[in-house]
Amino acid sequence: MNAVSRDTMLLETPFHSRVAAMCQVNDWGNWMGYTTPNAYFDVELEYFAVRSTTGVFDLSPMNKYRIQGPDAEAYLNRLATRNVSKIGIDRVGYTVWCNDGGKVMDDGTIFRFGAADFRLCSYQRAMDWLLWCALGFDVTITDETEAVAALAVQGPTSCTCLTGIGLTDLNTLKPFGMRHYQFEGAPLMVSRTGFTGDLGYEVWVPPEKAEILWDRLFEAGKDYLIKPFGSYALDIARIETGFIQAGVDFVPAEEMVRPGRARSPFELGLEWLVDLKKPLFNGRTALLKEKREGSKFRFAMLNVEGNKPAEHSFILKGEQQIGTVTSAAWCPTAKSNIAFAQLEMPEGRVGQDYVAEIYYQRELHWTRVLAPCTVMDGPIFNPKRRRQTPAIAH
Amino acid sequence: MTDYDAIIVGGGHNGLICASYLAKSGRKVLVLEARDAVGGAAATETFAEGFKVSRCAQWLHQLSPAVRQDLKLADHGLVFAAENLATIALSAEGSHLRLAGDTISGADVSPEDEQAYREFRRKMRKYAGLMRKLYETRPPKLVEHDLRDKMTLAKLGLGMKLMGKDDMSDLMRLILINIFDVMNETFSSPTLKAAIALDAVQGTPMGPRSPNTVFTYLHRFFGEVLGYEGVSQVKGGMGSVGEALASAASSHGVVIRTNAPVASIDKTHDRITGVTLESGESLTAKAVISSADPKTTFKSLVGYQNMEVGLVRRIEHIRFKSGTAKVHLALKDLPTFKGLAPEDLSQRLIIAPSMEALETAYNPLKYDECSEHPVMDISIPTINDPGLATSGGHILSAIVQYAPYSPKGGWDALRSTFLDTVINEIGRYAPNIEQLVTAAELLTPADLEAQFGMTGGNWHHGELTMDQVLMTRPVTGISQYATHIEGLFLCGAGSHPGGNVMGLPGKNAADEIIRQGVLA
């Protein structure tokens, strides 16, 4: 478990030998202490693999916590804002969790293996908080980040590629469903989940099966134009489909230093994840108060005119600055310039028009563009194939 | 419609005081006490056949005069067996030091020390007077900009200004440092320094060199600005305080049930509904007010699983360490202390030969070991109150430091050894003590926790350190008696201003609950 090395500052994932071999541009980043590729060969082409064929992303560094014991469901219901009792066995639920002040600490997914057996995947390291939450509950919490290797296999031909390595009848798996297979003599779990907004799966295996999984998958996907993709391509895909990211679109509440910089689920457009009817969950009292008294900010997805990504832009209403952009990208499939913004209430209603103040540089020359933008009603990329069951076969 | 307006969990002195004030304001109040008698740490109990003793607290030196007057405790049976006792710091050679009011005599004191003692007391009275402005009201919060809190702070600021420049800057210098340094810069007599330093470390897991011990001294000294001069002995033992408070409470209509341990404090989604007893009986109320310590209240009674996690984390971080034990000896006859006049046996006797001896006694506590030469605060209550030994003989009761909560090897193995250590130590001053002992009892911090429900055996319900007082007592966010859970209040020593039989947490809590009108 404790694969801490004195020689290298960053850890390698179980797929590293294969990832490194395919990482032609040798562009690496640090994801939670692991060395992971920002790009493999060309960001745009990697992105188009996700949207047109199949892209493969090594998500092993994702923090994974196993939560087991008689009180596991009650424990998660106290931790998370959504009603975990409604997540069936072999189902997955997206959720956020809050501090006492009702501000979002992190978002992640809950995988339900059994009545009293769950896995929580989080962006942040969460063990400390999870253990504090465990006081008073009969649960055991195990960090299995290193014990489980995982790949995201995303794109229109992903089901076909995975069926090719022996995951029979995978096309009948519904979105947010999980299924268990045997692979090379080891258990393999596949969930129809992902961070791209497309048809896609995440495949979870013991680390010793990681390399053979990669090899078999790329072999099976060869005819379906399977490609690896890095974090830059993922960023475009997730913005296009409207997924926020911890540490980018909000400050994890317990890391916040300056008062007022954290955001509630309401302020991140995640009201649908908050079940105020639950008797108790962390942040409930504060969220009820916010519900009564109103939020300070609103999350808005903006469609920005032009093709200059509105990165770090101010959003203006006339002369007045009413918010800032947290994520922005030119989205190739939607052929739109999308930005996520935090706007001061009561701004940000669907259809409202603002101006994004965009700065960009060409050959040391800074240019300012005042690009009109409109608040969208939901994400711009939301294809039918994402939900379609049985999944399309090729 | 609820069974009661308020249910008070715990019939200790603070619980009873809070109950009385609420009942006086016209509310229907129930007090639930787990033990068979009320009073909590103010308890008189039989420790050996024919010998009753103040089994936890042994002196009265801080009980709020406002409480005594408002609740007419004298009319309800609070009688002193002896008031304003002198403190006699024992010397093994028989040259004892006597501290009474502003005067010191005997031992090795010089005229300079006598003068310095008067000056020291003058200054301490000034500082304790300033504390009184904070102690007799709810602690101010700093960020909410509440007018009432601003007034408290303004009064404090003005009080500091009025102290004069020298005393004010000296307070700022002293408040965070240790009693060891202050004693060395003020006095030359080792006995005098140690006598004062003992007061600073009693009931704490600290030695005289520990930072924060000037503050704990001031907390102890606080009684002097309430009209007490030294300690007093209650007739019938400290249990009489509990009885007088119970009688006062009953006269205002408070219902008191003993042998009624609370199993849980109950809540719905959003608010407290009442309590369930260990017997299974459920009772409802508009508010539940807990005089149990904050950890017992939240961990055992509310249940961490029923609270938000940030609060759980803060409660778990409260420090509850103690290094204080109680020893009770049943004696055939009065012991003879070398060089001590028999009439002085009725005073407060302390064994703390020097600050170095205090610090040396403290050192083992850091490693969960017992002192080899413990220091102590001794009462022979049967001289002023012979009725405590019903069939003759005498009692020696001592507050003993330092004994850890869970020593290496466990108390089962160490209990008789430590008791012998204590008796031997007394024997250095009163050589015949060993032959006189007919029965002996040691209450370790773990015993005090088990018997009196004080987490860690800490009689303040949470250490009195600068990070655990005022707006951070018991924790930030619930410092003004109301908690995060609607309808749940705290009124015990774990709340501002803290422990000792003082009664201000109970009174302040009642004031605040009445002011908020939550029971109306």
The verdict on A78 and A20 lying in the same domain is no
Tell if the CB–CB gap between B303 and A283 is shorter than 8 Å.
no
Q: Provide the pLDDT for residue A6.
A: 53
* Chain A residues within an 8 Å CB radius of B316: 132, 135
Which residues 278-297 in chain A show a CB within 8 A of chain B?
A: 279-280, 282-285, 288
Decide if A51 is inside a domain.
yes
Residue B141, pLDDT score = 86
Tell me the average pLDDT of chain A: 95
Asked if the Cβ–Cβ distance from A133 to B309 is below 8 Å, we say: yes
**CA pair distance A340, A342, nearest whole angstrom:** 7
With an 8 Å Cβ cutoff, are A279 and B268 in contact?
yes
A positions 196-225 inside 8 Å of B (CB): none
Work out how many CB contacts closer than 8 A connect A with B.
46
Residue A261 maps to a domain: no
- In this predicted structure, the answer to whether residue A7 has a pLDDT above a threshold of 90 is no
Q: Is the omega angle on the peptide bond into residue B474 within 30 degrees of 0, that is, cis?
A: yes
Q: Examine the domain organization and report whether A107 and A164 are in the same domain.
A: no
Query: Are residues B305 and A282, on separate chains, in Cβ contact within 8 Å?
Result: no
Q: Considering only the beta carbons, identify the residue of A75, A136, A279 that sits closest to B303.
A: A136
Q: How far, in Å, CA of B519 to CA of B6, rounded?
A: 7
Q: In which band, very low, low, confident or very high, does the pLDDT at A1 lie, cut at 50, 70 and 90?
A: very low
Mark whether A231 and A211 lie in a shared domain. Answer: yes
B interface toward A at CB cutoff 8 Å? 268-270, 299, 303-306, 308-313, 316, 484
When pLDDT is cut at 50, 70 and 90, the band that residue B460 belongs to is very high
Q: Which pair of structure tokens corresponds to residue A2?
A: 């404790």
DSSP B389-451: BTTS-EEEEEEEE---SS-TT-HHHHHHHHHHHHHHHHHTTSTTHHHHEEEEEEE-HHHHHHH
A129, A136, A284 ranked by CB distance to B305: nearest: A136
Are A68 and A128 in the same domain? yes
Contact state of B304 with A279 under an 8 Å Cβ cutoff: no
What pLDDT shows up at residue A8?
61
Better-predicted residue by pLDDT, B476 or B425 = B425
The total of other beta-carbon atoms located within 10 Å of residue B391's CB is 7
Q: In which element (H, E) is residue B4 found?
A: strand B4-9
Find, in chain A, the residue whose alpha carbon is nearest to that of B313. Answer: A132
Q: Does A71 touch chain B (CB under 8 A)?
A: yes
Q: What is the CATH number of the domain that holds A323?
A: 2.40.30.110
Please name the member of A74, A100, A285 whose beta carbon is closest to the beta carbon of B309: A100
- Contacts of A125 by beta carbon, 8 Å cutoff, 6+ apart: A32, A63
Nearest to A100 among B303, B310, B316 (CB): B310
Query: Average pLDDT for residues B362-383, to the nearest whole number?
Result: 97
Residues A37 and A162 in one domain: yes
**B269 has pLDDT over 90:** no
What does the alpha-carbon distance between residue A71 and residue A368 come to, in Å, rounded to a whole number? 56
How does pLDDT run across B32-41, given as a tens digit for each residue? Answer: 999 999 999 9
Give dist(CA B342, CA A219) in Å, integer: 100
pLDDT interval class at A394 (50, 70, 90): confident
If asked whether residues A132 and A102 sit together in one domain, one would say yes
What does the pLDDT look like over B293-335, one tens digit per residue?
999 999 999 999 999 999 999 999 999 999 999 999 999 999 9
Q: Is residue A136's pLDDT more than 50?
A: yes
- On whether residue A208 sits in a domain, the answer given is yes
| A86 and A111 housed in the same domain | yes
A77 within 8 A of A85, measured Cβ to Cβ: yes
Q: Among A132, A137, A138, which would you mutate to test the B interface (most chain B Cβ atoms within 10 Å of its Cβ)?
A: A132
Mean pLDDT to the nearest integer, A190-205: 97
Quick check: is A84 in a domain? yes
Tell me the pLDDT tens digit for each residue of B353-365. 999 999 999 999 9
What residue segments make up the domains of chain B, in order of their start? 4-81+236-319+454-516
pLDDT above 90 (res A85): yes
User: Cα(A123)–Cα(A195) distance, rounded to whole angstroms?
Assistant: 12
B45: β partners: B53
Domain housing A370: 296-379
Comparing alpha-carbon positions, the chain A residue that sits nearest to B308 is A282
CA distance B110 to chain A (A): 56
Residue A39 bridge partners (DSSP) = A27
The span from the CA of B192 to the CA of B186, in Å, is 10
Q: What is the pTM of this model?
A: 0.92
Closest Cα in chain B, distance from residue A101 (Å): 9
Inside any domain, residue A107: yes
Return d(Cα A219, Cα A224) in angstroms, integer: 10
Contact by Cβ (8 Å): B115, B488: no
The nearest alpha carbon in chain A to B310 belongs to A100
Alpha helices (H) in B35-146, listed in sequence order: 65-70, 111-135
Mutate to test the interface with B, among A135, A254, A275, A284 (most CBs of B within 10 A): A135
Interface test with A, best of B308, B318, B476 (most A CBs within 10 A): B308
- Tokens 């907004």 belong to residue: A197
- A4 has a pLDDT exceeding 60: no
Residue A247 inside a domain? The answer is: no
Domain count, chain A: 3
CB contact under 8 A, B299 and A136: yes
Interchain pair A100, B305: CB under 8 A: no
H or E segment and range at residue B45: strand B44-48
- Provide φ and ψ at B300, rounded to 5°: -90, -35
Size (chain B), residues: 520
Q: Note whether A77 and A55 are same-domain residues.
A: no
Phi, psi at residue B427, to the nearest 5°?
A: -60, -25
Angle between helices B190-201 and B179-186 (to 10 degrees): 150
Assess whether the previous peptide bond of B445 is cis (omega < 30° from 0).
no
Contact state of A136 with B304 under an 8 Å Cβ cutoff: yes
For testing the chain B interface, which of A285, A288, A291, A292 should be mutated: the one with the most B CBs within 10 Å?
A285
Residue whose entry in the numeric block shows the structure tokens 């109301």 = B482
Distance from CA of A67 to the nearest CA of B (A): 16
H or E element that contains A93: strand A91-98
Dist CA B440 CA B420 (whole Å): 10
- Phi and psi at B28, nearest 5°, equal -95, 115
Tokens of B315: 């409660």
Look at phi and psi of residue B295 and say left if phi exceeds 0, alpha if psi is from -120 to 50, else beta.
Answer: alpha
Q: Average pLDDT of chain B?
A: 95
Q: What CATH architecture does domain B4-81+236-319+454-516 belong to? A: 3-Layer(bba) Sandwich (3.50)
Distance from the first to the final alpha carbon of chain B: 12
A152 and A212 together in one domain: yes
Kindly report the CATH number assigned to the domain that includes residue A82.
3.30.70.1400
Looking at chain B, the whole-number percentage of residues with pLDDT higher than 90 is 90
Contact B351, B429 (CB under 8 A): yes
What's the rounded mean pLDDT across residues B381-407?
96
- Whether A234 and A157 map to the same domain: the answer is yes
Is the domain of A43 the same as that of A115? no
A159 located within any domain: yes
pLDDT of A3 over the 70 cut: no
Q: What is the pLDDT of residue B1?
A: 82
Closest CA to B415 of B437, B446, B436, B394: B446
Selected residue of B305, B312, B476 to mutate for chain A interface (largest A Cβ count, 10 A): B305
The helix or strand, by DSSP H or E, that contains position A183, with its residue range, turns out to be: strand A178-183
Task: Locate the chain B residue with the closest alpha carbon to A137.
Answer: B305
Do A22 and A78 belong together in one domain? no
Q: Note which residues in 90-109 of chain A have CB less than 8 A from chain B.
A: 99-101
Residue A218 sits in a domain of what CATH number? 3.30.1360.120
Q: Which residues of A touch B306 (CB under 8 A)?
A: 136, 280
A4 belongs to a structural domain: no
